[in-house]
Amino acid sequence: MVDSVQALIELAIAEDLAGGEDITSNATIPENQNSVAEFVNRVPGVIAGIDVAVQVLTYLGINDVTRLVNDGDKVPAGTRLLTARGNTRKLLLAERTALNFLTHLSGIATLTSEWVAAVSHTTCQIRDTRKTTPGWRLLEKAAVRAGGGRNHRLSLSDAALVKDNHIVAAAGVLPAFEKVRAAQPGVSIEVEVDNLEQLREVLVGKPDLILLDNMSPELCAEAVSIVNGAVKLEASGGITLSSAAAYAESGVDYLAIGAITHSAKALDIGLDLRMEN
């Protein structure tokens, strides 16, 4: 993941400079001036992206960096997360890119932790989806883990997920499953079903996991009864934070929640700069 993150960092800094220079900092700050930068969260939350922020600073030549928290730490407002000492111009060049990573990933971790808390009285687990920012998938899925969630597949080649369009193309849910099983006998296969009839049909093929798409908590409970432990069940679609507990209480094993990556609000984190004596 280090190489892919490095590429994102280099792209972000190049985008910020747009082939030029930081004209404001270069005009107002002496070339050899040093400062201390402190990254501080303005609101409580779960932190993720600390290592990426450090990597941004290091890329720009700031090597005196102290981590004060770790990914997955739940912190109150006003916590110093990271301290960096070095050239003031370089610190300010790193500021926005480091904060973009840190605020976005901490927002995902914080939102994930809220979903995890909502179902914590059950054995149900919160899982992410492939609804991630292009290029950021590994980082966003790491942030989900920092918030206490679990990862679904990282890519289309990790595992098979037979969805509605595959079912249409294969002329049925069981034929679609059987085609994948024949082509990839050693791969984990999850099958999406829209109703209990499809559930019963594909159950005879013994998939590894069945995804209950856009079903109510009551239908999910019926599905749990039908399956009777033969395969694991995942609910997805139309689930909100307020309804998460009802879905978890239905007995399903997982809730697939795209919102924890695609709709997480950035955590408010700022950089406070002070001059070195």
What are the tens digits of pLDDT across the range 148-196?
999 999 999 999 999 989 988 888 899 999 999 999 998 999 999 999 9
Concerning whether 181 is annotated as a catalytic residue, the answer is: no
Single out the catalytic residue among 80, 85, 131, 179. 131
In 3D space, the residue among 128, 104, 98 whose CA is nearest the CA of residue 116 turns out to be 128
Tokens encoding 131: 């609804």
CATH number at residue 198: 3.20.20.70
- pLDDT at residue 1, as a whole number: 66
The pLDDT of residue 276 is 72
- Which residue ranges of the chain lie beneath pLDDT 50? none
pTM of the model: 0.95
- Verify that 122 and 252 share a domain, yes or no: yes
pLDDT of residue 91: 97
Domain limits for position 140: 116-262
Specify the pLDDT at position 75: 98
Catalytic residue flag (residue 137): no
Q: Are residues 124 and 258 in the same domain?
A: yes
3-state SS, residue 67: strand
Q: Among the options 51, 95, 192, 234, which is catalytic?
A: 192
Nearest Cα to Cα of residue 149 among 106, 115, 105, 103 = 115
Q: What CATH code is carried by the domain that includes residue 66?
A: 3.90.1170.20
Both 76 and 202 in one domain: the answer is no
| 180, 270: one domain | no
Per-residue confidence (pLDDT) for residue 109, from 0 to 100? 98
C-alpha 204: how far from chain center: 34
Count CA within 13 A, CB hemisphere, residue 74.
Answer: 8
Catalytic residue list contains 38:
no
